[in-house]
């Protein structure tokens, strides 16, 4: 199992919870990657793709970098020995490459744990960025502030996390 340790808060079964979130994240990433590679996404999924990556409503092309970042994130979640630290907020530190810090409030909700595990893993292993409030989404899937460019969206951690969550029918 790629998540080998959970530190921080005293939560019963926290290792099992983290491992379950990781397993589900990998499955959700796998589902999206296969559908994107086969170009077999439905209308709703295409809407989310175009929305989170600012591709335009009529877009039918799937940029290769999206699939590559999803594959890199999935591969890391599947093969790296990761420690999850339950913290006050979500973050990673590139100087501590196998630790993902997840906020306790999100860790305790499965759909949030999946979203933020993908978000932080994409930073750590696929080198995605945050673009301040322009790149963060609210729980309805809307960017908090306008101004994110298409190029930024293609390298934005929350774009990937929210796309995977929405693609697989999870609440944000």
Give the model's pLDDT for residue 1: 62
- Distant-in-sequence, close-in-space partners of 110: CB < 8 Å, separation ≥ 6: 17, 20, 21, 24
- What is the average pLDDT across 55-77? 95
Burial group, residue 117, by CB count within 10 angstroms (0-12, 13-18, 19+): buried
- Tell me the C-alpha distance between 145 and 85, whole Å: 29
| Residue pointed to by tokens 């591709």 | 55
pLDDT(57) > 90:
no
Residue-wise pLDDT for 89-103, tens only, equals 999 998 998 999 999
The closest of 4, 16, 10 to 113, measured between CA atoms, is 16
The closest of 85, 84, 32 to 62, measured between CA atoms, is 32
pLDDT(66) > 80:
yes
pLDDT(125) > 90:
yes
Is there a contact between 144 and 138 (Cβ–Cβ < 8 Å)?
A: yes
The CA-atom distances, in angstroms, between 5 and each of 2, 66, 130 are: 9, 29, 26
- Tell me the C-alpha distance between 52 and 105, whole Å: 24
Give the model's pLDDT for residue 59: 87
Give the model's pLDDT for residue 2: 87
């Amino acid at each position: 199992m790629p998540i080998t340790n959970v530190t921080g808060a005293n939560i019963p079964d926290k290792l099992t919870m983290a491992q379950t979130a990781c397993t589900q994240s990998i499955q959700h990433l796998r589902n999206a990657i296969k559908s994107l590679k086969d170009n077999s996404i439905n209308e709703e999924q295409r809407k989310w793709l175009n929305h989170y990556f600012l591709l335009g409503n009529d877009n039918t092309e799937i940029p290769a970098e999206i699939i590559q970042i999803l594959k890199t994130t999935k591969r890391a979640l599947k093969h790296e020995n990761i420690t999850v630290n339950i913290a006050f907020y979500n973050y990673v530190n590139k100087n501590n490459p196998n630790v993902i810090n997840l906020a306790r409030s999100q860790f305790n909700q499965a759909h949030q744990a999946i979203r933020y595990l993908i978000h932080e893993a994409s930073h750590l292993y696929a080198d995605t960025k945050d673009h301040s409030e322009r790149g963060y989404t609210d729980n309805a899937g809307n960017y908090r502030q306008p101004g994110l460019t298409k190029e930024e969206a293609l390298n934005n951690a929350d774009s990937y996390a929210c796309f995977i969550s929405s693609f697989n029918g999870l609440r944000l």
